[in-house]
């Protein structure tokens, strides 16, 4: 049973694959492969812990600037993982959704995304959101354009309706870096942000539980005072 203060929406910046491989004198590709295995573990753990939505940063819009062989390898791993996870996710009641600009992906990657989303569409236990070719600034821009196209005023409330995913409760970044790297900028406005030195391939269920325990101890005030929170003031934004 999940703790009553378990965050509904957890987002993870999965950082450290390359450094994990370098420390072991292995090619970067092996670090990325182990990163996929870590994600597989964490999806299962998140579902068991009662998290409703898990959003992970798989490939940023800036990652295209990496060496072409590494980008090609990442795309191959992405497509392979989508095919491999389709049936297990569906059986576990986990719905998969991919957010980001898909126009730059190959037809095979697009097909793998669409096939997995169809296969898992009825999942109700948890939603797994993979951010691929995603950037937080892009997300705000595309939402703004949709608001304008709909003939609505550009307000925070209207923008939120067209963003790719809902507000984040807990944002985790592995690998020791202390920045959010253009990930879910709008949605993380009031997120609790947890940084850990653990490199992503080493991150496991115990690490996730530690992050959730840290989150439970946080006092989320949303601009109010501690006294207001303790007296039960409305914290809705």
Rounded distance between C-alpha atoms, residue 207 and residue 38, angstroms: 11
Whether 15 is a known active-site residue: answer yes
Among 63, 101, 182, 202, the one annotated catalytic: 63
Whether 139 is a known active-site residue: answer no
Among 15, 139, 169, 207, the one annotated catalytic: 15
Q: Which residues are part of the catalytic machinery?
A: 15, 63
């Amino acid at each position: 049973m999940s703790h009553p203060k378990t965050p509904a929406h957890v987002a993870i910046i999965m950082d450290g694959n390359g450094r994990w491989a370098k420390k072991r004198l292995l090619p970067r590709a092996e670090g990325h492969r182990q990163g996929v295995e870590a994600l597989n573990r964490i999806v299962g753990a998140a579902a068991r812990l009662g998290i409703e939505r898990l959003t992970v940063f798989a490939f940023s819009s800036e990652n295209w600037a990496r060496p072409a062989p590494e980008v090609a390898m990442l795309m191959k791993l992405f497509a392979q993982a989508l095919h491999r996870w389709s049936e297990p996710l569906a059986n576990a009641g986990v719905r998969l959704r991919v957010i980001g600009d898909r126009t730059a992906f190959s037809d095979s990657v697009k097909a793998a995304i669409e096939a997995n989303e169809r296969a898992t569409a009825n999942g109700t236990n948890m939603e797994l959101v993979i951010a691929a070719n995603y950037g937080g600034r892009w997300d705000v821009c595309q939402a703004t354009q949709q608001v304008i196209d709909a003939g609505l005023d550009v307000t925070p409330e209207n923008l939120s309706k067209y963003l790719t995913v809902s507000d984040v409760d807990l944002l985790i970044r592995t690998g020791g870096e202390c920045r959010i790297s253009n990930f879910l900028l709008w949605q993380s406005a009031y997120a609790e942000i947890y940084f850990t030195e653990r490199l992503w391939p080493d991150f496991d269920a115990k690490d996730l539980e530690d992050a959730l325990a840290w989150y439970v101890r946080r006092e989320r005030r949303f601009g109010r005072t501690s006294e207001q929170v303790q007296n039960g003031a409305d914290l809705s934004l």
